[in-house]
């Protein structure tokens, strides 16, 4: 279910969850070789919209924490999340 960014009851935790879900899906799909692909357009859209409301420190902390948990190099993760086109 996509986040409604006009919902007055939308909480900070919802934004964090949306961003975290995207990072985890990218790690699963690109690094862990999961049989089932987790990343969907809806997850990516929610995360990119959530980024507009989340401070850079928060997104960086999410990325750093999940990189450690899944033993992924932080720079490699950054390249997976934001490939230079």
> Six-digit token pair at 85?
């086109």
Q: At how many degrees (to 10) do helices 74-81 and 12-27 cross?
A: 100
The more confident residue out of 56 and 34 is: 56
> Six-digit token pair at 23?
């990072």
20 and 60 Cβ atoms separated by less than 8 Å: no
Mean pLDDT of 51-71: 94
pLDDT for 62-71, tens place per residue? 999 999 999 9
**Predicted TM-score (pTM) of this structure:** 0.89
Task: With respect to residue 54, please indicate whether it lies within any of the assigned structural domains.
Answer: yes
Task: With respect to residue 15, please indicate whether it lies within any of the assigned structural domains.
Answer: no
pLDDT for 11-26, tens place per residue? 999 999 999 999 999 9
Residue 41 DSSP one-character state: H
The rounded distance, in Å, linking the Cα atoms of 50 and 71 is: 25
- How far the first Cα of the chain sits from its last, in Å, is 29
Task: With respect to residue 31, please indicate whether it lies within any of the assigned structural domains.
Answer: no
Task: With respect to residue 7, please indicate whether it lies within any of the assigned structural domains.
Answer: no
The residue range of the domain holding 70 is: 36-85
pLDDT at position 9 is: 87
Total domains in the chain come to 1
């Amino acid at each position: 279910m996509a986040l409604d960014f006009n919902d007055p009851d939308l909480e900070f935790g919802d934004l964090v969850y949306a961003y975290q879900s995207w990072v985890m899906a990218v790690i699963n799909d690109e690094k862990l070789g999961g049989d089932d692909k987790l990343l969907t357009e809806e997850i990516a859209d929610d995360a990119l919209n959530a980024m507009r409301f989340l401070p850079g420190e928060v997104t960086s902390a999410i990325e750093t924490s999940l990189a450690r948990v899944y033993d992924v190099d932080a720079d490699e993760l950054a390249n997976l999340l934001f490939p230079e086109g």
